[in-house]
Structure 1
Amino acid sequence: MEKSIYSRQYALFTKLLRAAREEAGLTQEEIASRLEATQTFVSKCERGERRLDIIELCNWCEALGIPAGKFVTELEQKL
């Protein structure tokens, strides 16, 4: 079994993560500030170089102002 970070599904996850940030009208710097992280962290997550765990995803969604369940539902529909 391949590592999920290299899968087509994870690539879709990161694409949706970036799209959600852009839909919220936020730059990488702005969401990084809300997450109390660096812009580099955000960039690596969006490029799939750094894996997010479920808690980090929930924090990310909160910073975007969207329910994590909504994000996951959209991901499931696209998978």
Structure 2
Amino acid sequence: MKKSTNDQSYTRLLSWLKNERVRKGMTVRELGLLLDEPYQIVSKIEKGQRKLFVYEYVQYCEALGLDPMHGLKQLENGSESDW
């Protein structure tokens, strides 16, 4: 079993989440407010300094208006092109 924080697919997943946040013009502070978490948590997640648990991932996606299944399918496929 690979450690998630060192896996390239996990890193791409975090990059996808961050890119979507930025694309929507949202700051880490704004996302933190939506998630009812300090903005530092959002920043640490995006930098890979804090693990993102499954339930948190779903909440993160919902706050960004993303389909959580999209990211999970990309993890399963290991495809970079669909991110």
Question: Would you call these one fold, judging by a TM-score over 0.5?
Answer: yes
Tell me, in whole angstroms, the C-alpha distance in 1 between the residues paired with 2:51 and 2:73: 19
Partner of 1:78: 80
Question: Hey, which of these two has a bigger chunk of helix by percent?
Answer: 1
- Partner deviation per Cα, 1:39-60 (whole Å, 9 max, x = no partner): 1000000000101111101000
Contact (CA 8 Å) 2:13, 2:71: kept in 1 or not? no
**TM-score normalised by L of structure 1:** 0.85
Partner of 1:8: 8
Unaligned runs of 5+ in 1: none
**TM-score normalised by L of structure 2:** 0.81
- The more displaced of 11-20 and 45-54 is 11-20
Structure 1: 4+ residue segments shifted above 4 A:
none
Unaligned runs of 5+ in 2: none
Q: How does 1:2-41 map to 2 (within 5 A)?
A: 2-41=2-41
Identity over the aligned pairs, expressed in percent? 30
Contact (CA 8 Å) 1:5, 1:48: kept in 2 or not? yes
Deviation of the 1:23 alpha carbon: 1.7
Name the CA shift for 1:68/1:2 in 2 (closer, same or farther; >3 Å): closer
Aligned length: 79
Name the CA shift for 1:26/1:74 in 2 (closer, same or farther; >3 Å): farther
CA RMSD of aligned residues (A): 1.9
